[in-house]
Chains A and B, each alone.
Chain A
């Protein structure tokens, strides 16, 4: 799944709101060089990884000082993102149901989980690591 020959598209910087556009741009670059990707797959994958990126931007501490590294890889049957950040020890509340209709928050991680086939989090030394995969060519949600 990782460490293979698929070229990685990488981004490094501070996990701050202004850098979210850079994540969109990174994915756009990967898509441009893989024109066979289904736009629906790309759209749903983008939606998912941005939610995880948001999480780091919003909750990573010390705020404004957390650095991250995004790597996106496109393979024949899947698209993968890895996100490492230097934020504080963090325990994501994975596996929660989508909040009720009138909730104004709490949807980020459930959205990502619904749109990805794999989403794994682990803490390695002083780094938080997210591994996110969407298999290509599936029926869209709903």
Chain B
């Protein structure tokens, strides 16, 4: 998985592509760690280009969420496709990782 990153000043948009799985999740986690350590803890994960997520990807999102919130920020997910939405709902993670339809809506108060 590769992902683009756009620093918008008050927040950063991460855009992973392809499969967000046990292969790619550690790369995402490492990048989030670096961003939070650099005081960039307001993160939007634009999931429009992710066609599949597994439990490792979910774990990376939850880990990122905890790190971001622990540093006065947040991690929000946007533009998730049907498989990602189904898995978020199945695991009840949509309660703490509310999926926003768009990046704009996810970053509305940042």
Contacts and interface: CB of A to CB of B under 8 A. Distances in A.
Interface of A: 17-18, 20-21, 24, 43-44, 46-47, 50-51, 54, 57-58, 98, 101-105, 107-108, 110-111, 114-115, 140-142
Interface of B: 19, 21-23, 52, 54-56, 58-60, 62-63, 66, 82-83, 86-87, 89-93, 95-96
Contacts of A50: 21, 52, 54
Interface of A (DSSP majority class): helix
Contacts, number: 73
A140 B86 contact: yes
B86 A107 contact: no
Contact of B92 (A21, A46, A101, A115): A101
Nearest to A103: B62
B83 A57 contact: no
A43 B21 CA distance: 15
Contacts of A20: 19, 21-23
Given A24-B19, A57-B22, A47 B54 contact: yes
A111 B87 contact: yes
A102 B83 CA distance: 21
B23 A17 contact: yes
B21 A141 contact: no
Given A46-B52, A54-B21, A102-B66, A107 B89 contact: no
B19 A108 contact: no
A51 B21 CA distance: 10
B76 to A, nearest CB: 15
